[in-house]
Structure 1
Amino acid sequence: MSVLRDLMEGIRNGGIEVLDLTAPLTEKTPILSLPEPFGQTATFSLQEISRYDDRGPAWYWNNFTTGEHTGTHFDAPNHWVTARDGEDVSRVPVTKLIASAAVLDFSAEAAADPDFLLEIDHVRAWEKEHGPLPEGGWLLYRTGWDARADDAGRFHNADETGPHTPGISAECARFLAEQTPIIGLGVETVGTDAGAAHSFDPAFPCHSFLLGAGKYGLTQLRNLDRLPPTGAVVIAGPLPIVGGSGSPLRVLALLER
Structure 2
Amino acid sequence: MSVLSSLVESIRSGAIEVVDLTAPLSSSTPVLKLPEPFGNTVPFRLTEISRYDDRGPAWYWNDITTGEHTGTHFDAPVHWVTGRDGEDVAAVPPARLIAPAVVLDFAAHAAGDPDFLLRIEHVKEWEAANGPLPEGGWLLYRTGWDVRANDQEGFLNADETGSHTPGVSAECARWLAEETPIAGIGVETVGTDAGAAHSFDPAFPCHSFLLGAGKYGLTQLRNLDRLPVTGAVVVAPPLPIVGGSGSPVRVLALVER
- Give TM class, smaller chain: over 0.9
Name 2:26's counterpart in structure 1.
Answer: 26
- Separation of aligned partners in 1, 2:42 and 2:185: 24
- Separation of aligned partners in 1, 2:85 and 2:14: 43
Query: Structure 1: where are the runs of 5+ without partners?
Result: none
- Separation of aligned partners in 2, 1:196 and 1:115: 7
- Separation of aligned partners in 1, 2:195 and 2:83: 22
- Separation of aligned partners in 2, 1:242 and 1:205: 26
1:105-140 deviations in Å (ceiling 9; x for gaps) = 000000000000000000000000000000000000
1:124-173 deviations in Å (ceiling 9; x for gaps) = 00000000000000000000000010111111100000000000000000
1:196-215 deviations in Å (ceiling 9; x for gaps) = 00000000000000000000
Superposition pairs for residues 61-210 of structure 1, below 5 Å? 61-210=61-210
**When the two structures are superposed, what TM-score results if normalisation uses the length of structure 2?**
0.99
Shift of 1:253: 0.2
User: CA RMSD of the aligned region, Å?
Assistant: 0.5
- Separation of aligned partners in 2, 1:33 and 1:153: 11
Name 2:219's counterpart in structure 1.
Answer: 219
Name 1:248's counterpart in structure 2.
Answer: 248
- Separation of aligned partners in 1, 2:15 and 2:66: 37
- Separation of aligned partners in 1, 2:91 and 2:76: 9
- Separation of aligned partners in 2, 1:154 and 1:244: 29
Superposition pairs for residues 29-48 of structure 1, below 5 Å? 29-48=29-48
- Separation of aligned partners in 2, 1:83 and 1:101: 23
**When the two structures are superposed, what TM-score results if normalisation uses the length of structure 1?**
0.99
Tell me the SS of whatever aligns to 2:214.
coil
Shift of 1:80: 0.2
Tell me the SS of whatever aligns to 1:18.
strand
- Separation of aligned partners in 1, 2:172 and 2:118: 7
4+ aligned runs moved over 6 Å, structure 1: none
- Separation of aligned partners in 1, 2:70 and 2:150: 14
1:70-105 deviations in Å (ceiling 9; x for gaps) = 000000000000011110000000000000001000
Name 1:6's counterpart in structure 2.
Answer: 6
Query: Structure 2: where are the runs of 5+ without partners?
Result: none
Shift of 1:247: 0.1
- Separation of aligned partners in 1, 2:40 and 2:114: 25
- Separation of aligned partners in 2, 1:187 and 1:52: 40
Residue type at the aligned position of 2:171: E
Identity score, percent: 79
Residue type at the aligned position of 1:97: L
- Separation of aligned partners in 2, 1:151 and 1:46: 20
Name 1:17's counterpart in structure 2.
Answer: 17
- Separation of aligned partners in 2, 1:111 and 1:152: 18
- Separation of aligned partners in 1, 2:253 and 2:134: 15
Tell me the SS of whatever aligns to 1:33.
coil
**Matching of residue 228 in structure 1 with residue 224 in structure 2:** no
Shift of 1:237: 0.8
Shift of 1:13: 0.4
**Matching of residue 56 in structure 1 with residue 56 in structure 2:** yes
- Separation of aligned partners in 2, 1:35 and 1:159: 13
Tell me the SS of whatever aligns to 2:251.
strand
